[in-house]
Amino acid sequence: MSEPFAENLRLLCSHYASVAEVCRRIGINRQQFNKYLSGASTPSLHSLRRICDFFGVEEGEIVLPTHEFAGLIRVRGEAPSDALAATIGKIGARFPDSQARLRKYCGHYFAYMCTPAYPGMILRYFAAVFQRGDRTYAKAIERLVDKQNPELGGYISKYQSLVLHAEDRIYMMDHNPMGHQVFALTVIYPSHRTRLHFLPGLGISVSGGPGRQAFATRMVYEYLGESTNLRETIAGCGLYPEDSDELDGAIRARLRNEIQPGENTLCALEY
């Protein structure tokens, strides 16, 4: 984590009058903070969360390669209002057991989907589900990089979601604070097994391509654990060919947006 984290931390500090001011406002010892800036030391998980909360970034973002991180904070702008959260909160009030039901799903995931913007490709991105107060949230980071041709570059997108467990389904209402896309909805099947593995579902969104088509696509969430090595996990995100051996065959099979004879709707493929 040290090299990109240290560079990104220095970049964040450059937006303030002095490092001393940053240390004072975060409440971290200046001598220890200097070690983070130089890359000589990395913060504990507790200190990392305090740093990220102060700068308004996510733990998964601050370990991205610096050129990607710089682009992320440059285009993000002001934090979105909480109007969406307030609206969804009213809906959530009708399902008072939602928080308890969602607790087991908190953690890190790879999420998989196909999109008309990248025909013949599968997008794998990072998602984190967590609870704060009386709500459950999800954060997602997409690295739109062709994994077979990374030299071509790419860009990243960030999504924030409010999550509800209602009528035995998990609903994720997504908002992109960067403004590329306003809303999306993901509906996934909960797992009734003791151990989480794959969570299949459907996503409804609007393509980022020139046509801006509304589309529905099959999705799979792959549970990685309560926490992961964020740098390695995000490095594994990107665009993969539909037949890529780097992706689990069971996942690829459940992402095919095919409607079989006798069917007239696109449905999630259960496990």
Judge contact between 100 and 84, C-beta under 8 A: no
Q: Is the pTM of this model over 0.75?
A: no
68 or 228: which carries more pLDDT confidence?
228
Same domain, 90 and 58: no
Same domain, 146 and 179: yes
The dihedral built from the CA positions of residue 66, 139, 240 and 230, taken in this order, carries a sign that is positive
Same domain, 29 and 60: yes
Is 265 inside a domain boundary? no
Same domain, 26 and 97: no
The letter for the amino acid at 139 is K
Same domain, 7 and 131: no
> What number is the average pLDDT over the span 127-156?
77
Averaged confidence pLDDT in the chain: 83
Range of the domain at 45: 2-76
38 Cβ contact list (under 8 Å, min separation 6): 6
CATH number of the domain at 29, please. 1.10.260.40
| Alpha-carbon span 259 to 226, nearest angstrom | 35
> What's the half-sphere exposure (Cβ side, CA atoms, 13 Å) at 128?
17
Per-residue pLDDT tens digits for 158-211: 788 889 998 889 999 887 654 445 678 999 998 877 778 999 999 998 876 666
| Alpha-carbon span 212 to 81, nearest angstrom | 25
Indicate the number of domains in the chain.
Answer: 2
Q: Does the pLDDT at position 141 exceed 80?
A: yes
State the CB neighbour count (10 A cutoff) for residue 31: 8
| Alpha-carbon span 27 to 24, nearest angstrom | 5
